[in-house]
Amino acid sequence: MQHFAELGLRPELLTALKALKFTTPTPIQAAAIPAALEGHDIMGTAQTGTGKTAAFGIPLITRLLNHPHDTALVMTPTRELATQVLDMMQKLLGNQSKISTALLIGGASMGTQLEQLRRSPRLIVGTPGRINDHLARRSVKLGSTRFLVLDETDRMLDMGFGVQIDKILAHIPKDRQTLLFSATLPANILKLSGKYLRSPLRIATGETNAPAARVKQENIKVSDSEKYTQLLAQLDQRQGSIIVFVKTKHGAEKMAKKLKALKHSADTIHGDLRQNQRDRVIRSFRNYQTRILVATDIAARGLDIPHIEHVINYDLPQAPEDYIHRIGRTARNGAEGEAVNLITPQDQKKWHAIDVLLNPDAKREPAVNPAMAAFSRKNRYGRRSFGSLPRGHAARGAKKSAA
């Protein structure tokens, strides 16, 4: 696929793509856009940072342009991601467009959203909680939704969101086109997704459940007491924007405070902050005003901040899939990036689960007592301690660059 023009897109879209400086479709775009334009439901997977947003956005806008009575709904797991997705949709609509939109996310002003809803938006982007709030107060009607997207599908259909999604879907016509996208797709979610789709096409480019091609991963073994010192050393060694993932909101808050006290340019984002604080923090990180963002998994998925060069996993994520999403905040759209994981003896089990996800076919020693085996003297710095090397190391990454 050489050029978007070959996809037979509407002229409005080609103009918008030109303004975005998108000339060549990425592999997932080249595969998914024609299938979606034919009306198929799609279960799509492609690595982080490979352009999945436009892969569903272009068919979505086409649908709105071709069918003036249809409306579209896109749901995402976080408010920041919804904001970013709507931003991309608006760019794809172009500034001449008369199609109105609404952003229905928690923590934001109801007044503004009600105002947007009064203008009969043809595109709604939002998070499940707030959409259900609007359904409950009958301020939104979803009866003309003919195009539905669940971005970060595996998160949207997991236990946390599944019930909410089902409630929303009860308001949406069965006669619709549904597109599901993520970089990770555990087997149970793939199975579950069938419930939401009609004769779907499974479109996968690159490997599913694999990190971005150009992210260089490194594990550093530390004791609990060395962990913070090691973090400071890493922050000093590295240049450019860094995101540090920690486990808890409280931990994020505390760490950002400590880093600021050391005159680091740092800030934090987590679910206990007011939405206007969250917005401010993301804005200043996007604008290079803050160098270090200390985050919980709220920032693990979808955020596209191209200048992030380093991801530090200070704490490992609870769900192994989130490891792939976290390190996918760097090395986006063909760029290079680095991920470093600080691993304490207590993290052994969590790392093992991540390693199994990344290297499903690797031969492993039968783990009699994994925690002991990994930290025994013999294995201390050996490969075996952490399984085989993570995917995405330079040798394998080179052949898999995105767009």
Among residues 44 and 128, whose Cβ is nearest to ligand ADP?
44
Residue 309 DSSP one-character state? E
Q: Which of 401, 348, 319, 298 is nearest to 81 (CA)?
A: 298
Strand-pairing partners, residue 359, are none
Question: What are the C-alpha distances in Å from 225 to residues 156, 231, 248, 381?
Answer: 37, 11, 18, 19
To ligand ADP, the closest distance from the beta carbon of 215 in angstroms equals 12
Chain residues 285-324 in contact with ligand ADP, contact rule CB under 6 A:
304, 306
What distance, in Å, lies between the first and last C-alpha atoms of the chain? 11
To ligand ADP, the closest distance from the beta carbon of 84 in angstroms equals 8
CB 358, CB 184: distance < 8 Å: no
To ligand ADP, the closest distance from the beta carbon of 193 in angstroms equals 17
329 binds Mg ion (CB under 5 A): no
To Mg ion, the closest distance from the beta carbon of 151 in angstroms equals 6
Among residues 80 and 347, whose Cβ is nearest to Mg ion?
80
Distance CA(270)–CA(250), nearest Å, equals 9
- The option from Mg ion, ligand ADP, none interacting with 25 (CB < 5 to 8 A, set by class) reads ligand ADP
CB 291, CB 241: distance < 8 Å: yes
- The option from Mg ion, ligand ADP, none interacting with 304 (CB < 5 to 8 A, set by class) reads ligand ADP
Cα Rg of the chain, angstroms: 21
403 binds ligand ADP (CB under 6 A): yes
To ligand ADP, the closest distance from the beta carbon of 60 in angstroms equals 13
Stretch that binds ligand ADP, among 23-31, 126-134, 184-192, 235-243 (CB under 6 A): 23-31
| Count of residues touching ligand ADP (by CB under 6 A) | 18
Question: What are the C-alpha distances in Å from 228 to residues 86, 91, 222, 223, 378?
Answer: 37, 41, 9, 10, 26
302 binds Mg ion (CB under 5 A): yes
- The option from ligand ADP, Mg ion, none interacting with 284 (CB < 5 to 8 A, set by class) reads none
Question: What are the C-alpha distances in Å from 333 to residues 4, 27, 201?
Answer: 17, 11, 24
In the list 22, 28, 52, 350, the residue contacting Mg ion (rule: CB under 5 A) is 52
Q: Reduce the DSSP state of residue 227 to 3 states and report it.
A: helix
22 binds ligand ADP (CB under 6 A): yes
Q: Which residues bind ligand ADP (CB under 6 A)?
A: 22, 24-26, 29, 46, 48-54, 304, 306, 332-333, 403
Interface residues with Mg ion (CB under 5 A)?
Answer: 52, 302
